[in-house]
Amino acid sequence: MPKSRRFFLKEREAKALVDEASKKLKVDLKRIFGSDFKVELAEADFGEVYLVKGRPAFFKAGGNLYPTLLFEEVFAAMPKVVVDMGAVPHVCNGADVMAPGIVRFEGDFRKGDLVVVVDEKHGKPLMVGEALYDASEAVNVKRGVVFRNVHFVGDRVWKAIKKLV
């Protein structure tokens, strides 16, 4: 396994990354990070992990940018999907979120938006998912996949970022 590189991005590249992430997540990340922040890139076998102020905030895989499950500040502004405790082991093994496991939605989302999936008992982030329906359609779905699993507790991204911190 080749040694992975880790280095700071130039200020212009860091601002462009944060702008891209803000647009994708529909959250003003400059307000969260403040005006003075440094972004560090750590290469991994699946793609790249971006650390902001020393904390893993995003990862890029397959050309797409996603928040990590350790980026708690962004979850307050993202739409949430609450799943029942029976769905938790499946989601934590990489399964998509199926309609029967959904307890409720918090916030509005459109098809293709990213959401954070939390358990109903503790409210802990389990997964970052991509909505396959608009919120207005998702409430009426009774069967099948509603959210595609992008990043979950215990996946290779999770393991890589745990080694970084």
pLDDT digit string, tens, across residues 106-163: 999 999 999 999 999 999 999 999 999 999 999 999 999 999 999 999 999 999 998 8
Residue 2 DSSP label? P
The structure tokens listed for 139 are 């409430």
pLDDT at 33 over 50: yes
Question: Helix or strand or coil: residue 89?
Answer: helix
What is the Cα–Cα distance from 57 to 69, expressed in whole angstroms? 8
Write down all domains in the chain, each with its CATH number in brackets.
Answer: 6-70+157-164 (3.10.450.120), 74-153 (2.30.130.10)
**CA distances, 147 to each of 17, 80, 82 (Å):** 25, 11, 12
What is the average per-residue pLDDT within 4-32?
91
Q: Give me the residue label for tokens 């890139």.
A: 41
Residue 9 DSSP label? P
The residue ranking higher by pLDDT, 1 or 57, is 57
Task: Compute the half-sphere exposure of residue 7: CA atoms within 13 Å on the CB side of its CA.
Answer: 6
Three-state SS annotation for 137-161:
HHCCCCCCEEEEEEEECCCHHHHHH
What is the Cα–Cα distance from 125 to 94, expressed in whole angstroms? 14
Choose among 58, 55, 86, 78: nearest CA to 125: 78
The reported pLDDT for the residue numbered 85 is 96
pLDDT band at residue 1, thresholds of 50, 70 and 90? very low
State pLDDT tens for residues 45-103: 889 999 998 899 999 988 899 999 999 889 888 999 999 999 999 999 999 999 999 99
What is the Cα–Cα distance from 119 to 71, expressed in whole angstroms? 17
Q: What is the pTM of this model?
A: 0.90
The reported pLDDT for the residue numbered 105 is 97
